[in-house]
């Protein structure tokens, strides 16, 4: 089993994450931010990555620190679970419809983090969560996980559907990328023999 465990403690947040890449999509998630919990549950369910996460922080100020730090901690656990990334398919892409909304995520588990974010929201908040924080979460996760990550919503009207489409599409793309390629299960998927560093 490819697993990771991270404890992240700062003056702003305290987070414990356990992750199993070879799971069934089970989750126990508590961040204190209802909408973020809902999105992370979708991430686990549709990627088949088991996630156990408990996070507490200075949500009396706003949700920025908890959102960003949860992204970092989840990304670190993901990176830990992948190890040297030997045998993985490496690339993943998914286009997901959510009623009137269509979103695509393409990613490379390259250990070269980069985020391209082409998503727009018409509302400032979903529940109590600022919609601008979704970009912060995806950026933090991509950086810590070592993902080149492209997220694009082609069209949509309902802001809930737009956010959920992003998480579900990434979940499906991650599911592809971390699968073991049976034809190359003993090799790192790069001509360099290692993932990361310069092109």
Question: Does residue 144 fall inside a structural domain?
Answer: yes
Assigned domain for 22 exists = yes
What residue numbers bound the domain in which 9 lies?
A: 3-178
* 10 in any annotated domain: yes
Residues sharing a CB contact under 8 Å with residue 151, sequence separation 6 or more, in sequence order: 103, 104, 105, 115, 116, 117, 118, 119, 138, 166, 169, 170
Q: Compute the distance between CA of residue 65 and CA of residue 81 in angstroms, rounded to an integer.
A: 24
Whether 186 is covered by a domain: the verdict is no
Q: 192 falls in which pLDDT band (50, 70, 90)?
A: low
Distance CA 155, CA 145 (A): 27
Q: Report the predicted TM-score, pTM, of the whole model to 2 decimal places.
A: 0.92
* In-domain check, residue 187: no
Q: What is the pLDDT of residues 68-89, one digit of tens each?
A: 999 999 999 999 999 989 889 9
Residue 163 pLDDT exceeds 80: yes
**Number of structural domains in the chain:** 1
What SS3 state is found at 118? strand
In a domain, 188, yes or no: no
**pLDDT value for 87:** 87
Whether 194 is covered by a domain: the verdict is no
> CATH number, domain at 64?
3.30.230.40
Give the tens place of pLDDT for each residue, 43-63.
999 999 999 999 999 999 899
């Amino acid at each position: 089993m490819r697993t990771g465990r991270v404890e992240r403690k700062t003056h702003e947040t305290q987070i414990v994450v356990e992750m199993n890449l070879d799971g069934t999509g089970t989750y126990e998630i508590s961040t204190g931010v209802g909408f973020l919990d809902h999105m992370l549950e979708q991430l686990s369910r549709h990627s088949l990555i088991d996630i156990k996460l408990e996070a507490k922080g200075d949500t009396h100020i706003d949700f920025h620190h908890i959102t960003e730090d949860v992204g970092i901690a989840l990304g670190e656990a993901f990176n830990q679970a992948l190890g040297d990334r030997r045998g993985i398919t490496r690339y993943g892409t998914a286009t997901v419809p959510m009623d009137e909304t269509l979103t695509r995520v393409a990613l490379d588990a390259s250990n070269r983090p980069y985020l391209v974010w082409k998503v727009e929201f018409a509302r400032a908040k979903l529940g109590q969560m600022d919609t601008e924080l979704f970009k912060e979460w995806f950026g933090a996760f991509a950086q810590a996980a070592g993902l080149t990550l492209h997220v694009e919503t082609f069209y949509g009207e309902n802001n809930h559907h737009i956010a959920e489409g992003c998480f579900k599409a990434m979940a499906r793309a991650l599911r592809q990328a971390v699968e073991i390629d049976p034809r190359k299960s003993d090799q790192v998927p790069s001509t360099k023999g290692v993932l990361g560093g310069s092109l």
